[in-house]
Amino acid sequence: MKITNIEVFELKIPFSTGVKNKVSSNFLKADALDFCLVKIETDTGIIGWGDAFAFHCRRAVAEAINTMIKPHLIGKNPLDVQQINFELQKKLHLFGRYGITIFAISAVDIALWDIVAKHSNLPLCNFLGSVGEKKLPAYASLWRYEDAEAVQDRCQYAKNLGYKYIKLHEVFTSEVKAARNILGDDIPIMVDTNCPWTKDEARQMLNSWEEYSLYWVEEPINPPEDFESLSNLRADTFIPIAAGENACTSFEFKKMFDAEAVDYAQPSVTKVGGITEFKKINHLADTYGVQVMPHSPYFGPGFLATLHLAQSMPNPGLLERFFIDFEAYLYPKEIFTPQDGFFKTPDTIGLGLDPDKDVIKDFAVKTL
């Protein structure tokens, strides 16, 4: 089998955060989400789909795939996905082991695994060694509102929909307190802070948050790779620490685990180097006794890949559902809609679904 063509699709799909007439925070400011999809064609007619992390960096990632990766792949056998990933990482190492380059490799790797599983006539999770019958617990991952009323509104709504875990993206105590007040003690609450604080600021904040019985606090320290400070903070607080969405490759996760920096590791399949690298991180986390909680605020092939990977893990942890509503979805909305708090992995071959061609056409970004 040979790769005959690689095509990149850049999309921007408008979304709503669900709360009207509220000024949303400057952090994460956006009303449409960037997508960078990759379609890989082969001489057998089998087609694979992948996507790269593209929020606010869509153009750069697309260019990296087209100019840095595509020339290396035409003519290669897609069934050799792990070798291809290794060679791409080796060839492109001088452009950075974190960021755009690895995001681009991740997209191609996901598409190649889609082809491998389709070629084997199996759902990807079967190919990865799972029957695919696990119920995958979901959590609602709320937008950042910086508004206690809006947080309460969304918490209540998520609880009504059957979510059994809810994550905030907030940095002020007023919103954390408001969430706990409206949810009572029944629903575990996580708080994703997205790297705002020095280690001293983080210690003060987490000390003051201990009374809210948080399930984890995510990325409290800037910069994200300061694993030593994270480890010291973790030793100083009862609140479990989660991090990993800003780490690429298993080598970075090994450093994180060696430093005993986290209770929960959050690899992101569209960032770490794709399915190939995510599998390595899973094995590493097993060996170090660290629970993986996949980072998956995605709505394309990266989300499906996360479902299949989670199926293949003995203990899949909690899966993220970014709690925003789109004007259109690349797959039927049910895929992103947990039933009574649980996701279901598609049981058709490959990733299970190909993206909707009309949505790709309707929301394509015009590029020069």
Are 278 and 267 a contacting pair, CB within 8 Å? Answer: yes
- C-beta closer to Mg ion: residue 117 or 265: 265
Q: How far apart are CA 33 and CA 192, in angstroms?
A: 19
Q: Kindly give the residue spans of alpha helices, DSSP state H, lying in 170-217.
A: 173-183, 199-209
Least distance in Å: CB of 249 to Mg ion?
A: 18
- DSSP 3-state of 35: strand
- C-beta closer to Mg ion: residue 102 or 125: 102
Are 291 and 315 a contacting pair, CB within 8 Å? Answer: yes
Other CB atoms within 10 Å distance of the CB of residue 68:
17
The CA distances from residue 87 to 4, 29, 73, 93, in Å, are 18, 37, 10, 10
- C-beta closer to Mg ion: residue 117 or 217: 217
Q: Which residue is nearest to Mg ion (CB)?
A: 192
Q: How far apart are CA 149 and CA 174, in angstroms?
A: 10
Least distance in Å: CB of 55 to Mg ion?
A: 12
Other CB atoms within 10 Å distance of the CB of residue 122:
17
- C-beta closer to Mg ion: residue 110 or 243: 243
- C-beta closer to Mg ion: residue 266 or 276: 266
Least distance in Å: CB of 61 to Mg ion?
A: 19
Spatial CA neighbour of 278 closest among 317, 325, 239, 229: 317
Least distance in Å: CB of 245 to Mg ion?
A: 5
Least distance in Å: CB of 179 to Mg ion?
A: 16
- C-beta closer to Mg ion: residue 10 or 34: 34
Least distance in Å: CB of 192 to Mg ion?
A: 4
Q: How far apart are CA 96 and CA 101, in angstroms?
A: 7
Q: φ, ψ for residue 34 (rounded to 5)?
A: -85, 140
Return residues touching Mg ion (CB under 5 A).
192, 218, 245
